Structure formats: C-alpha cells, structure tokens
C-alpha cells in the first residue's frame, strides 16, 4: 500500500491480509486452482466465497458448454476491430458485463487480443487486428466498459498465441524487439489504460518457455516492469507444471479440479522445499483481491442462469454489427438496393447461407419478388442434421441424450438431457447426476426424416468409442483410438467415417449413437502424449447429407438470369474457422467461386456478401462482380445489419483492421507459418501486416483502413498543439473531415495517423506505423467535423534490447501522416524529440501485497 491510498483501499487491504493470515497452507493452495470447470474454490471456514467465470468474447456462454441458457451473441472480434470505434467498444464491454450477470458470473474470459500474424490463423476472427496499437486501444476500451459494471475482464492470450497448429507444444520464437513492440505492446497498453483484473496465459511457448511458467513474461515484465497486480490464470488445460507455474507467477490453474495443483501433486515438492511459499502467498492475496474487486465478499449468491429480454441489447448489437461491415467494391449504382427502386422487380438471393443471412433484405417497397437458391455446397464435412432431426421424447429439433454409469449401458438411465446440435461436445460438464469425468457412457437418440428420396450420406465422428445405428442396425463405428491427425473437435478426436443409405422422403428413421467416455488420461502409456485438454473433452458428431446430384451453381446462374439483381452470400463457417485448427485454405471453400462466376455471368447487377473472419482469395473473381460487402461474423444481428447496409438504411462505415493480400505468398509470415517440429520462427520480425507491404513495396488487394461509403469524404490536416514531444506531454493533432456528398444517408469516416521517422535511426524501424486514429460521427452531405488524436511517447518508442529500455533517441524527427487508409495518406506535420526519452516501466504504482 502507499500513502495516497483511500480509506476504502486500506480497509480492503486489511480484510484481505487478515484472511490470508488465517489460512493454512492447504487452504492457500486451494485458492490457486479451480474447483470445477467455471468456478474457483470456496473456503467456508473463513468466509471465502467461490467465483464464477464465463467464456467469452462472443457472449456470456454460461456454465454448460454447447447446450446452455441462451445469451446475447456479439459480433466477432475482427468485426468489432473493423468499427475503429473506441466509444462503441466501451459500450460493448458494458453490455458483455451485464450479460455475465445473467449467468451469475463475476469475470468474463475476454477480450481476445492476439495479433493477426497470418490470414489462416484459426482464431483470428476472435481478435481485433494485425496492428498492435489499434488492438491495444480497442481492448482497453472494452475492458474499461466491462469493469465499470463490476465484472472483471480477462484479456487473452498472453502472449503470441497466433496459431492453432500444435498450440500446446509450439514455441513462438520471436526477437526481443518484435516480442515487445508487436505482441506484448497491446497488453502493455491495456495494462496502462484499463488495468484488467485478470489476464489469461497462452498455451504455447515463447522462445522455448511455456507462457504459464515464464518468469520473464509473468514476473519480470508484467509484475516488475508494468506494475500489474491482477490475477494470471491459465487457459483451460494450459497449466503445464506444478512447481514452475507457481514459482514463476501463475496465480490460478483452470479448469478445476486441478491436475497440477492438487495436494497429492504438490506433496513431494512441498516437502522438498521446491515450492516458493512467498509466491503462494502472493497468488492467494491476488485471488482474494479479485473476490474483493468483484464484490463477492458482499454478495456471494449464485442464482440460476437466465436470458435477458432487454430490448436495448439487440439495438446495440445491431448498431455494432452494422458499424463493422466493410464495403470493398461498389460499381456505380450497384448498392444500395433502395426499397423504392423501380428497376428491381425480381431479386435473387443465393448461397449456402443465403436464407440465414439476407432473408430480411426488405427491397419490397414496390412489390419486388425475392427468390432464393442454395447455390453451392461449402461444407468441409457432411453437415449436421438441421430441420430433419428431432428429439423422439419431445418432438422438438435436436436429440435426447441418455446418460449411464460405466461402459455397458447396464445401469439404467441415470439422467436425460436435450441437445439442439448433433455436433455435441462435452467439456467435462457432465450432468451432476453422473458427477465424474471418467467411466460413463451416453446414448444419443433422434428421429431423422429425410426431405428427399434417394441415396443419402451419413457420417460419424467422435472423441471416444462410438457406434451409429439406424433403425436398430449398426452402420458405422469409431474405435476411439488415440490419434494426432484428426480434423474434427478441438483436440484429438477422429476424422469422420461416411457411408451411404437409401432413404425415402418423409419416412422417419430412428437414429442412435452409443458413446463411451475415452478415459485416456488414465492410461500411463498415452497420457504423456496428450494435449492438456484431451482428458476434458468428450464428444460425438452426426453428419447427414440429403440425396442431391444437382449442379447447384449452374441452377443459381439460370435463376439469376431471370432477375434484375442478385445477392450472392458466400464465405466460411465454424467448420473452416474454429478454435483448435488453423484454416486449411485461402480460397472460398467448396463450389462458391463457381457460384459467383455463374451468377455474375448471368445477372447484370451482382453483389457478393462475404462472411469470414479473415481474408479470402477474391482476386480470381472480384473483377467480375459489381459490389462486395465483407460482413465478418456478426452474431445474432448479422442478417438485419447486412440488410440495413444493402438497402441503404445504414451507410457503411466499417474499415479493414487487417491487410487483404492478393496472394497468400505476399504475406509476411508465409514462409514460417505455422512452422515445423513444434517451432515457429517469427522471421518477419517487426514487419507484421501493413508494415511488411510497406517494406517490400508489394501492393495488397486492399490496405488496412480501406472501406467505401455511399458518400465521398475528404480528409485534410488541420492543426497541432506542439511540435515537440516529451514523456510527460504528447502532441495533439487534428484533421478536418468533410462529407462531400453522393447519398442522402449520413455516413462516418475513420482517420488514421501514421508516424514515420525521418531522422537517422540507430535501430531498424518499420517505414511507418499507426500512432493514432479517430472516427467521426455520422455526417450528412456537406457537413464537416474536426477529429483529434493525442500522439504520446508510448506510441513512438522502440525497445532497445541491449539496454532493456524503451527509448526515443534525442534529435529524433517524425513525420505524422494522416489519411483514410494505408494507401491514401499525406504528411501533415513534423515533430521533434529534443532530449532522449527513456523508460522501463509504466508510470504509476501497482496495487498489491506487501509480503
């Protein structure tokens, strides 16, 4: 504590210190590991309550993985990144906090802050940008919004979890400067600007050391340099050791029950004196402090989860979704499709997800006929049954799951649950009546009613041993053998096995899957080979494809020929972009490219809507279409948001937070992603994203910041309050933005400020880097607005690895460029640094124990 602390802080510190002094060593250790998948450990003897956490960035998932109480579904991280809107991000953080309260959770496992190092990163869709400055600013706002409502944030994954391939084993080998200036920088920014109450460590290693047990990362940098005092928790299953993780600063192992921090696991090391007892006290203090910050000592209730019906939630999510949509191409008069436009009497909406996305297109003001067509197959695996499967006990969509003890289904049904999705993953959260993570089985029952007559395809994939029965006859089987080559599920499950079966339209078929828990963690010959999450996940997946030999793209082209305009909805889905796997291809999967070409060749006004979390290869077809909208993954309001932009109710204001390459080979990490033999060498160094394109002079398909509006905008430098920079005082630059017209709906524009060092520099620097940005309000035609950004030393510093300090050399001169995107900027000002600026830590005192 320090002399300036408030009475409340002193009282809090006293309470926590008193509780800590009363705890036994065994009780302190219990605080350092979860009690269950989503809860920490309570100590009733001294009044320590449990704390519940909830995943994640896309919404407050709640306790049950997969089949949970519904929650608001937020736009993906990259879509929020495309808004470039700090104020909106703070409001989204507040919304997520209120959603956590509906699940009785006190901490949210969000936001995701990893850098888009390569376009095929499997979890890029969760993260904001390729740029560390933009990532840090948006994350800070998100955290402030969340924690202002009393819910702790958990930015993740600390650090360099930029690929999913071998994510538990791979070592991200990064130079000291790249580590500091690219990958750690956004975390350092949000510590300084938002003080998160928690932080989650990454699965991977950095320079040979697992993140959860890295003294350099957790203690030397985060604690000693940054003065951060929050809770470091592991990613789920990401604690890799007992002794090293405690001694090197990991406060909390998740999920529980613990694998590494059980009393049995620590008994020997404690007796040998291998465990640093001071670290145990520090971590226990931080856990108690988290309970204090989240108000758990005052209110330790754990109410049933529920779904909020607050209409303001949907309104904010619609606003956020629309604000992230990026218009990449728009030939004259292609968009918007106005409701009163007489030239459109018939509109085609085609694509695998067309009805899900654009069924509210709304171009019906004068009686436009809207026709739909599936258009193309894009599934990576046989699709899970949708409307054709229903629970035999209730008649509603989905299936019934009967749970049993043991592995022979002889105990009688212990309990039943319902699942909506026949892609069923169990994350260790078995029903309480089963209550144990091993030695159980379940039976999935559903009724399948085909819509067509012919030869249908069925598939089975699983984590453990499983058999598929149709009308009592076994047709497929999975052995459940351990494999490292699987492409389904988060970890080592199986690939799907496929068979064919003749079925008649409208005839019911009883489907049954018998599944046995794999229990591989009990086998000493296999357990050391498994990834940490392998012993938690159980799961099974049923695939079903109707008999259909149609040439869908050709059919869609014929339909489009009869229409005045066509909207082609393409992209990826969770089979292609997901946690646990990197994206296998840059191209649009399946028949979608041919679909675009067929429609474009037959319709004079073709608009393509792309759903994806990262760039797709558009170079082969973009010149053949009239307009392209990138809608990312927008959560529950995607259809409405896309419709608003397509019909011109909302003027598109999203701008790319990442560079779109023409060719995957142009990307900075092309030669080293995802690495080999559990090593990934970050050979591009500082030159991530747009910095690489600047370095090599290659022109991307679209630069960072790119995006069109239905209006035109001009941006011009306005003013600067000083041309001299010091550590204590940054410079404020302003730019004038004018809506130059073109459409009668107001539009917003982002302004990006780039710094370029023009004086001699003793350390290599990118040609330029983003040092500020701003977004206007919505401007009508002819309206102007002046926006501003403060450029401080933290935005211009470079890390001197030899001195282990951040520096800006005396005499440094910078040009500050301003513009709409990386290809459209002009030099607005020049600033100087008369004296060396140097720092090793974030200014300000940390709050923590005095032990």
Asked if residue 542 lies in contact with residue 422, where contact means CB atoms within 8 angstroms, the answer is yes
Number of helices and strands in the chain (H, E): 17, 36
Asked if residue 723 lies in contact with residue 732, where contact means CB atoms within 8 angstroms, the answer is no
Burial of 267 (0-12, 13-18, 19+ CB in 10 A): exposed
Which residues are registered as beta bridge partners of 773? 752
Task: Compute how many other C-beta atoms are within 10 angstroms of the C-beta atom of residue 737.
Answer: 24
Q: Helix, strand or coil for residue 750?
A: strand
b or e along 830-841 (b: 16 or more beta carbons within 10 Å of the residue's beta carbon)? ebebeeebbeee
Tokens of 72: 């608001």
Q: How many residues does the chain have?
A: 851
Q: Helix, strand or coil for residue 220?
A: helix
Strands (E), 92-138: 107-108
Q: How far is CA 519 from CA 437, 504, 527, 659, in A?
A: 8, 39, 10, 44
Tokens of 174: 């990064």
Q: Helix, strand or coil for residue 822?
A: coil
The single residue listed with the structure tokens 């040439």 is 551
Radius of gyration of the chain (CA): 28
The single residue listed with the structure tokens 């009475």 is 7
Nearest to 236 by CA among 33, 455, 377, 424: 33
Asked if residue 530 lies in contact with residue 521, where contact means CB atoms within 8 angstroms, the answer is yes
b or e along 544-564 (b: 16 or more beta carbons within 10 Å of the residue's beta carbon)? bbbbeeeebbebbbebbeebb
Nearest to 750 by CA among 83, 257, 264: 83
Asked if residue 355 lies in contact with residue 543, where contact means CB atoms within 8 angstroms, the answer is no
CA 81 from chain centre, in angstroms, equals 11
Element (H, E) at 95: helix 86-102
Active-site residue identified among 131, 235, 251, 792: 235
Contacts 24+ apart (CB under 8 A), 585-588: 586/119, 586/120, 586/615, 586/616, 586/617, 586/664, 587/616, 587/617, 588/378, 588/616, 588/617
Q: What is the Cβ-side half-sphere exposure of residue 479, based on CA atoms within 13 angstroms?
A: 3
**235 catalytically annotated:** yes
The single residue listed with the structure tokens 């497929």 is 476
Q: What is the 3-state secondary structure (H, E, C) of 412-440?
A: CCCEEEEECCCEEEEECCCCCCCCCCCCE
Nearest to 647 by CA among 371, 367, 320, 364: 364
Task: Compute how many other C-beta atoms are within 10 angstroms of the C-beta atom of residue 215.
Answer: 14
Phi, psi of 638 (to 5 degrees): -60, -50
Asked if residue 721 lies in contact with residue 731, where contact means CB atoms within 8 angstroms, the answer is yes
C-alpha triplet 176, 126, 792: angle, nearest 5°: 50
The end-to-end CA distance of the chain, in Å, is: 11
Phi, psi of 817 (to 5 degrees): -100, 150
24: left (phi over 0), alpha (psi -120 to 50) or beta: beta
User: For residues 319 and 313, what is the distance between their CA atoms, to the nearest angstrom?
Assistant: 10
Q: Helix, strand or coil for residue 499?
A: strand
Name the residues annotated as catalytic: 235
């Amino acid at each position: 504590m320090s002399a300036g602390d408030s009475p409340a802080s002193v009282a809090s510190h006293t309470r926590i210190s008193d509780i800590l002094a009363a705890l036994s060593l065994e009780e302190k250790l219990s605080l350092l590991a979860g009690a269950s998948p989503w809860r920490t450990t309570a100590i009733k003897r001294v009044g320590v309550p449990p704390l519940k956490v909830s995943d994640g960035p896309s919404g407050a998932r709640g306790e049950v993985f997969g089949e949970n109480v519904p929650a608001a579904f937020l736009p993906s991280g990259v879509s929020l990144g495309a808004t470039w809107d700090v104020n909106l991000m703070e409001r989204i953080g507040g919304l997520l906090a209120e959603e956590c309260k509906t699940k009785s959770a006190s901490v949210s496992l969000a936001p995701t802050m990893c850098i888009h190092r390569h376009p095929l990163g499997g979890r890029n869709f969760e993260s904001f940008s390729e740029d560390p400055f933009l990532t840090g600013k948006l994350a800070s706002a998100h955290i402030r919004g969340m924690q202002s409502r009393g819910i702790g944030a958990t930015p993740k994954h600390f650090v360099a979890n930029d690929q999913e391939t071998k994510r538990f084993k791979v070592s991200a080998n990064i130079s000291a400067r790249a580590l500091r200036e690219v990958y750690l920088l956004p975390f350092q920014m949000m510590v300084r600007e938002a003080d998160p109450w928690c932080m989650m460590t990454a699965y991977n290693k950095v320079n040979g050391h697992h993140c959860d047990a890295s003294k350099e990362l957790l203690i030397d940098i985060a604690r000693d340099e940054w003065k951060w005092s929050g809770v470091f928790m592991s990613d789920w299953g990401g604690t890799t050791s007992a002794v090293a993780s405690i001694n090197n600063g990991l406060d909390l192992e998740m999920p529980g029950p613990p694998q590494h921090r059980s009393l049995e696991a620590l008994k020997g090391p404690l007796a040998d004196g291998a465990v640093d007892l001071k670290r145990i006290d520090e971590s226990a203090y931080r856990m108690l402090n988290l309970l204090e910050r989240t108000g758990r000592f005052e209110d330790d209730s754990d109410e049933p989860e529920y779904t909020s019906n607050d209409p303001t939630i949907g309104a904010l999510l619609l606003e956020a979704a629309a604000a992230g949509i990026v218009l990449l191409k728009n030939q004259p008069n292609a968009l918007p499709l106005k409701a009163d436009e007489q030239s459109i009497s018939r509109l085609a909406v085609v694509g695998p997800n067309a009805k899900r996305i654009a069924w509210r297109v709304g171009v019906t003001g004068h009686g436009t006929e809207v026709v739909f067509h599936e258009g193309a197959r894009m599934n990576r695996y046989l699709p899970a049954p949708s409307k054709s499967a229903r629970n035999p006990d209730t008649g509603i969509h989905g299936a019934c799951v009967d749970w049993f003890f043991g592995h022979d289904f002889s105990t009688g049904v212990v309990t039943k649950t319902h699942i909506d999705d026949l892609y069923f993953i169990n994350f260790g959260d078995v029903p309480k009546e089963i209550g144990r993570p091993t030695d159980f089985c379940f039976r999935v029952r559903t009724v399948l009613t085909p819509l067509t007559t012919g030869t249908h395809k069925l598939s089975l994939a699983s984590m453990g041993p499983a058999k598929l029965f149709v009308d009592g006859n076994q047709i497929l089987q999975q052995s459940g053998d351990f494999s490292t080559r699987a492409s389904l599920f988060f970890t080592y499950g199986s690939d799907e096995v496929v068979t064919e079966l003749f079925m008649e339209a409208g005839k019911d078929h009883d489907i049954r899957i018998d599944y046995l828990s794999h229990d591989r963690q009990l086998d000493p010959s296999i357990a050391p080979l498994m990834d940490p999450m392998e012993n938690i996940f159980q799961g099974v997946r049923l695939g079903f494809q109707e008999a259909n030999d149609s040439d869908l793209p050709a059919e869609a082209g014929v339909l489009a020929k009869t229409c005045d305009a066509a909207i082609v909805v393409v992209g990826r889905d969770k089979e292609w972009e997901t946690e646990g796997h990197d994206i296998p291809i840059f191209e649009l999967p399946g028949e979608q490219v041919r679909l675009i070409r067929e429609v474009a060749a037959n319709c004079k006004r073709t608009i393509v809507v792309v759903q994806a979390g990262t760039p797709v290869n558009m170079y082969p077809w973009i010149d053949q279409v009239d307009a392209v909208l990138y809608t990312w993954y927008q959560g529950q309001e995607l259809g409405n948001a896309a419709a608003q932009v397509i019909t011109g109710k909302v003027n598109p204001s999203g701008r790319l937070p990442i560079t779109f390459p023409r060719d995957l080979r142009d990307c900075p990490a092309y030669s080293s992603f995802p690495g080999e033999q559990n090593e990934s060498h970050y050979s591009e160094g500082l030159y991530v994203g747009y910095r690489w394109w600047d370095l090599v002079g290659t022109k991307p398909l679209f630069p960072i910041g790119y995006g069109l509006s239905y209006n035109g905008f001009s941006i011009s430098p306005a003013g600067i309050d000083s041309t001299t920079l010091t550590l204590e005082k940054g410079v404020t630059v302003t730019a004038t933005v004018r809506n130059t017209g073109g459409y009668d709906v107001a539009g917003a524009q982002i302004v990006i400020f780039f710094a370029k060092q023009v004086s001699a520099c003793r350390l290599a620097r990118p040609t330029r880097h983003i040092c500020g940005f701003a977004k206007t309000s919505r401007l009508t035609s002819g309206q102007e607005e002046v926006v501003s950004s403060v450029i401080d030393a933290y935005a211009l510093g470079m890390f001197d690895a030899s001195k282990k300090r951040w520096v800006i050399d005396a005499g440094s001169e910078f040009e500050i460029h301003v513009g709409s995107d990386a290809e459209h900027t002009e030099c607005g000002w020049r600033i100087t640094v008369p004296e060396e600026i140097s720092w090793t830590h974030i200014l300000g005192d940390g709050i923590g124990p005095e032990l």
